[in-house]
Structure 1
Amino acid sequence: MAFVSQFSQLPCRTLSLNPPQTQLISKPLIFPIGPIVAGARAAAGKLAISARPVFKVRAVENDDERGEEKKRPYADGPAVAVAEEEEKPLEQSEIYKLKKALVDSFYGTDRGLRVNSETRAEILELIAQLEAKNPTPAPTEALSLLNGKWILAYTSFSGLFPLLSRSTFSLVKVEEISQTIDSEGFTVQNSVLFSGPLATTSISTNAKFEVRSPQRVQIMFEEGVIGTPQLTDSIVIPENVEFLGQKIELSAFSGIISSIQDTASNVVKTISSQPPIKFPISNAKAESWLLTTYLDEDVRISRGDGGSVFVLIKEGSALLSP
């Protein structure tokens, strides 16, 4: 029965009761099947034939056992995977609710300029909760997420308040404050977009940044840029206005308005062709730093000098929609 123990080492799944001779010798380098089968038939005769069903039964039993062993981890695996998949969306859902609540709390604050103590406390609490769930603990190692244009939604940085308050008492309005990061060139551009009755323009600063820690970057300002004013191409005048309690019809001024629109169009073409004005920045205050405490594909929370906080939303995010 020595041939029985040797034969049982073969992979039984590929064997049948009457295997073709070509299959038995197709892989002689793996195992010398042909000589063993011939010797077994000459020495044992019918015994080898009667032993074949035993081999088949053994193969079936081993297949069953192996099948059960393979199925058990597979059965356990999906259960764990499903649990993880269920837990992950739940965590993401909680984070999204926090982000939505934070953005909603900015309503009426004018980016932090007009905020009472109660709303400020609510905002700071939501910021702290988001920072505790930060999915990117090392933002400077995830530069692809930092890359792009970020719109300022809220700040406690008092240095911006004079700029924001100026638009409250004049015809010039701050339309947008943004920060654009180029993670490949290691550059940062801070920009403020202004709009007036007849034109829009922007003031920007260009800077370089260096990674100083997994969360911190050092920013070195290089130049300022005053953008070319873009005049309003069309002026919309209402049909009537109310002045000192009286309604004044403006239809009589339609010819003058049309002339102004034509003149404005010509001026737009002239001014827009002029290059922006650039000036170097070189003083002791030309450096700053930012610590990013929360980062995902939609929201970035950074902290700067004096404990100021900045909440920015990625351009194109649904969170910017009203």
Structure 2
Amino acid sequence: MSKKTALLEAIAGQNRGLLATEADKVRVLSLFQQLEDENPYPLPFQALNLLDGNWRLLYTTSRGILGLNRLPLLQLGQIYQYLRAEQGILYNIAEIVGIPLLEGVVSVCARFEVVSERRVNVRFERSVIVLQRLINYRSPLNFIEEIEGGKKFPPIDFNISNREQKGWLEITYLDEDIRLGRGNEGNIFVLAKEK
């Protein structure tokens, strides 16, 4: 079994990390590190065609992301990160599901700057929290196109000006299907490319 397959099998059924026990987390981290050692693109910013596009989160240890599942009567749906590498822009989109008519979208828009062979500094610029039905939400890509078109979304759409709203991300593995990353708070991320 390949290391990539082993990692994907280990995170299957973990609901992006929400169901992971401490033993699961240790096993996933070990497999994660083993796959990092086989990175076919150690210079990810020289493979922008692979980096660009929509990525779906398969697993994370980020409390900030997984904490979105604590909303009463609602659950965390799919989570996406859309990268526009040449422009240095990323969009994080979390779909919130549950009670009909209250499904939502939580999104953060950010700019990033490449600071090393694998690392980017991220500066968060805008946050949007909206009901899916209110904006006729169809897909992450459609939502991003509306954001880039200058659309403002009620009820919550604001610019983030706090200089503390920043971080960094290292891309530690990249291929045609999977991206692994490490964040400034010690979190790991496993993402799959949406075709």
Match of 1:314 in 2: 193
Q: Is the 8 A contact 1:140 1:216 kept in 2?
A: no
> Aligned to 1:307, what secondary structure does the other structure show?
coil
Deviations 1:147-188 (A, max 9, x none): 011111111122223212x15xx4312111111001232110
Q: Which stretches in structure 1 are left out of the alignment for 5+ residues? A: 1-93, 234-273, 317-322
Partners of 1:179 and 1:133 lie apart in 2 by 23
Match of 1:37 in 2: none
Q: Which has the higher strand share?
A: 2
Match of 2:82 in 1: 180
Deviations 1:197-250 (A, max 9, x none): 31332111111111111100111111112235327x9xxxxxxxxxxxxxxxxx
**Equivalent residues in 2 for 1:15-34, closer than 5 Å:** none
Q: Percent identity?
A: 38
TM-score between both structures, scaled by the size of structure 2: 0.82
User: Cα RMSD between the aligned structures?
Assistant: 2.1
The one-letter amino acid paired with 2:116 is: S
1:201 aligns with 2:104: yes
**Equivalent residues in 2 for 1:39-118, closer than 5 Å:** 97-118=2-23
Partners of 2:86 and 2:180 lie apart in 1 by 21
The one-letter amino acid paired with 1:302 is: G
1:289 aligns with 2:192: no
Deviations 1:30-88 (A, max 9, x none): xxxxxxxxxxxxxxxxxxxxxxxxxxxxxxxxxxxxxxxxxxxxxxxxxxxxxxxxxxx
Measured after TM superposition, the shift of residue 286 of structure 1 is: 1.6
Deviates more, 1:203-212 or 1:105-114: 105-114
Question: Looking at CA atoms only, which structure, 1 or 2, has the larger radius of gyration?
Answer: 1
Measured after TM superposition, the shift of residue 113 of structure 1 is: 2.4
The one-letter amino acid paired with 2:90 is: V
The one-letter amino acid paired with 1:157 is: S
Partners of 1:228 and 1:172 lie apart in 2 by 12
The one-letter amino acid paired with 1:113 is: L
Match of 2:130 in 1: 227
- Shift of the 107–131 alpha-carbon distance from structure 1 to 2, 3 Å rule, reads same
The one-letter amino acid paired with 2:175 is: D
The one-letter amino acid paired with 1:133 is: E
Partners of 1:212 and 1:107 lie apart in 2 by 33
> Aligned to 2:12, what secondary structure does the other structure show?
coil
The one-letter amino acid paired with 1:136 is: Y
Measured after TM superposition, the shift of residue 140 of structure 1 is: 1.6
Partners of 1:275 and 1:216 lie apart in 2 by 31
Match of 1:129 in 2: 34
Partners of 2:159 and 2:65 lie apart in 1 by 21
Aligned residues: 177
Partners of 2:165 and 2:185 lie apart in 1 by 16
Q: Is the 8 A contact 1:228 1:275 kept in 2?
A: no
Deviations 1:77-120 (A, max 9, x none): xxxxxxxxxxxxxxxxx6xx322221221133221122223322
